[in-house]
Amino acid sequence: MRNCFLWLSAVCLFISCNTPNHWETPVKEMTDAQYPDNPSLESRHSDAKQIAYKSVEITRQADGLFDVAIRPHQASTAGVKIKNAPLLEWMPTAVDWVKKDDYLTYIAVIDQEWNRQQVQFGAGQFEVIGKSNVKITRVDLARNCLNAYLWEMLIYAQDSDGKDKLYWQGWFDFPKDLYAELFEKRNALPYETFRAGLENWIDPLVKKINLDLLRKVKSEKEVRFEANNDEMYELKNERLRKRKNIVYPKTVAKMGDLLSDSTRFATFAQPGFYDTKDPRVTYLSRFGKLEKVIERQTITPTNEAAIELEYVFVSNQNPKIITRLVVGGVIAKNLPRLSVADANNGAQASMGVANHSFYETFDYQQQHLTKNNPFYSFLLDEKGNFLDNHKIGIDGTNFHLDAQDPTKLHLWILSFERHAFLNHSVVWLGR
Mean pLDDT of the 188-212 span: 96
Q: Amino acid identity of 263?
A: T
The burial class, CB within 10 Å (0-12 / 13-18 / 19+), for 252 is: middle
Strands 117-121, 421-428: parallel, antiparallel or unpaired by DSSP? unpaired
Mean pLDDT of the 340-357 span: 96
Mean pLDDT value across the chain:
94
**Can you give the pLDDT at residue 9?**
40
Q: Amino acid identity of 66?
A: F
CA distances from 27 to 33, 52, 57, 96, 169 (A): 18, 10, 10, 35, 10
Closest CA to 66 of 87, 39, 52: 87
The predicted-structure confidence for 37-94, as pLDDT tens digits, reads as follows 999 999 999 999 999 999 999 999 988 899 999 999 999 999 999 999 999 999 999 9
Cα end-to-end distance, the chain, whole Å: 72
Helices (H), 62-142: 102-113
**Can you give the pLDDT at residue 126?**
98
**Can you give the pLDDT at residue 216?**
98
pLDDT > 70 fraction of the chain, expressed in percent and rounded: 96
CA distance 2 to 85: 40
**Can you give the pLDDT at residue 421?**
97
Q: Is the peptide bond prior to 204 cis by the omega test (within 30 degrees of 0)?
A: no
Q: How far is CA 289 from the centre of its chain?
A: 27
DSSP tag of 208: B
In a 13 Å sphere around the CA of 315, the CA atoms on its Cβ side amount to 16
CA distance 183 to 92: 7
**Among the ranges given (4-13, 64-73, 378-387, 419-428), the one the predictor scored with the smallest mean pLDDT:** 4-13
Q: Looking at the predicted structure, is the pLDDT value of residue 203 above 50?
A: yes
CA distance 349 to 117: 10
CA distance 274 to 284: 20
Q: Looking at the predicted structure, is the pLDDT value of residue 6 above 60?
A: no
Strands 246-248, 347-350: parallel, antiparallel or unpaired by DSSP? unpaired
**Can you give the pLDDT at residue 431?**
84
Q: Which residues of 131-157 are buried (b: 16+ CB within 10 A; e: fewer)?
A: ebebebbbbbbbbbbbbbbbbbbbbbb
CA distance 85 to 151: 14
For residue 262, which phi and psi values (nearest 5 degrees)? Answer: -85, -15
3-class DSSP state of 36: coil
Mean pLDDT of the 312-326 span: 97
Q: Are 316 and 76 in contact (CB under 8 A)?
A: no
**Can you give the pLDDT at residue 69?**
98
**Can you give the pLDDT at residue 18?**
55
> Could you tell me if residue 64 is left (phi over 0), alpha (psi between -120 and 50 degrees) or otherwise beta?
left
Strands 22-28, 53-60: parallel, antiparallel or unpaired by DSSP? antiparallel
The predicted-structure confidence for 167-188, as pLDDT tens digits, reads as follows 999 999 999 999 999 999 999 9
Q: Looking at the predicted structure, is the pLDDT value of residue 13 above 60?
A: no
Q: Are 69 and 81 in contact (CB under 8 A)?
A: yes
Q: Are 207 and 386 in contact (CB under 8 A)?
A: yes
Q: Are 328 and 355 in contact (CB under 8 A)?
A: no
**Can you give the pLDDT at residue 202?**
94
> How many angstroms separate the most distant Cα atoms in the chain?
79
pLDDT > 90 fraction of the chain, expressed in percent and rounded: 93
**Can you give the pLDDT at residue 410?**
98
Q: Are 54 and 69 in contact (CB under 8 A)?
A: no
Q: Looking at the predicted structure, is the pLDDT value of residue 1 above 90?
A: no
Q: Are 283 and 393 in contact (CB under 8 A)?
A: yes
CA distance 309 to 326: 6
Mean pLDDT of the 127-132 span: 95
Q: Of residues 9 and 264, which shows the higher confidence score? A: 264
Beta-bridge partner residues of 140: 120, 154
**Can you give the pLDDT at residue 19?**
65
**Can you give the pLDDT at residue 62?**
86
Confidence band of 106 (pLDDT split at 50, 70, 90)? very high
**Can you give the pLDDT at residue 277?**
94
Mean pLDDT of the 418-424 span: 96
Confidence band of 20 (pLDDT split at 50, 70, 90)? confident
Closest CA to 136 of 171, 170, 167, 169: 167
Q: Which helix (H) or strand (E) holds 428?
A: strand 421-428
Q: Looking at the predicted structure, is the pLDDT value of residue 8 above 70?
A: no
Residues ≥6 apart with Cβ < 8 Å to 425? 225, 226, 227, 228, 290, 293, 311, 410, 411
- The alpha-carbon radius of gyration of the chain (Å, integer) is 23
Residues ≥6 apart with Cβ < 8 Å to 90? 117, 119, 141, 143
